[in-house]
Amino acid sequence: MKAQSSRALLAFLALIACQAPAAPHGMGERWSNADLATLERWLDAAPLDALPVISTSSLEQARRSGDPKRIDDEADRLSLRLARMHLLGTANNSGRASWHINDTDADLPLETMLAGSLAHGKLDSFFALLRPAHQEYAALRFAYQIDDDAQHRRTIARNMERWRWMPRSLGEDYVLVNIAQFEASLWREGKVADKWRVIIGKRRTPTPVFETEIEGVILNPWWEIPASIVRESVGSLVRRNPSLARARGYVWGGGRYRQRPGPNNALGQMKLVMPNRFSVFMHDTPNKQLFEEDVRSFSHGCIRTDNAIGYAAALLQDVRTREEIDSIVASGKTTRIAITKPLPLYVTYFTAVIDDSGDIILLDDLYDRDRRVSVPAPLANVGVDGADASRSFLQVSYLQPMVAPDRKLSISDIEC
């Protein structure tokens, strides 16, 4: 995924290389009066991206001094600070504690890019290309500027900040899971190709935020049961009623617990090959009725996927037909199929999203993570010229049904 950042840098360098160098003039040796005005405009506009206000007093003092080197140094410092805010965000380590997606944009040589933009009169392009490029960010930014509810704007700002933690380019094709939305989406050529409902981790066993690559699909998988689930349920079932455990497909020996492929297998009929340090996977489930729930936080951390065979078919569209996949599933034989090219997978946590109509939806903060993300207090509503003030905000509340009635232990309690 580092190649994406390299491509972004190459695109920027190609852009400025095609322009004639700007004529040197102004108060600094490298910074012209026009460049300083552009910088001040971008600094003033930072709150439109829910970024904090940056004081320009040191730059003003440098300009009054008339010292070209001091002016250049202060302008460089402010520019790079603003650039890193747009590109990488402003949250501290505590706010990012549960976020395990590597932002490859941190490797960009911003000093080199800034110098090139100044030499070729492309400072506006330098800053503009550092904002998150995803359409969700653009929609959130628009909504942030027109909404007059302070709490709405804080939620939107926190999610704009999360987008700054993502790689600026996710690729043309990828899968995006939003834990807070209970949804997975497949993107092809930069557009949503399909969506699936998902079941995610309970509050005490949350699904982690991370990135990996989908390498393939396993049909009719065996389930290698994690030690935590053995301790919680399967181990006691084996000790208490081994014949029932065998009837449910469990096999064990030498400290290893597994479940055979079959109708009761906790992974259902499909599991993705997606190596990651959390041992979290996207897979099918025999408990498909749970997809009808609004709050689908029932797992031990894994991501159960609705219409899992249809999802597998979408991933394998260049490798196997749906008929071939159905035939393999019907055979009951465990079969691993590689996809043509590894597909990036981002498991994220966004509590403000856009719906199919382009409206902003505010979701419940299922894992209570929003408050950890510090954002500046919203300024007075800045508005957007020509904005549609009637743009609707849908406040979706899932908190009421969060506490489920007591029920007997079912297979859903021992799925991963």
Percent of the chain topping pLDDT 70: 85
Ordered DSSP codes for 35-50: HHHHHHHHHHHGGGGT
Position 364 scores a pLDDT of 97
Statement: residue 377 has pLDDT above 90: no
For 152-168, write each residue's pLDDT tens digit.
Answer: 999 999 999 999 999 99
For 87-140, write each residue's pLDDT tens digit.
Answer: 999 999 999 999 999 999 999 999 999 999 999 999 999 999 999 999 999 999
- What rounded mean pLDDT belongs to the chain? 88
Position 7 scores a pLDDT of 61
Position 264 scores a pLDDT of 87
Nearest one of 256, 198, 262 to 227, comparing CA atoms: 256
Sheet bearing 352-354, strands edge to edge = 352-354, 360-362, 393-395
- Rg, Å, the chain Cα set: 25
How many whole angstroms separate alpha carbon 201 and alpha carbon 217? 21
Query: pTM value?
Result: 0.87
How many whole angstroms separate alpha carbon 92 and alpha carbon 33? 34
Domains and CATH numbers, the chain: 2-128 (no CATH), 135-164+351-402 (no CATH), 174-349+404-414 (2.40.440.10)
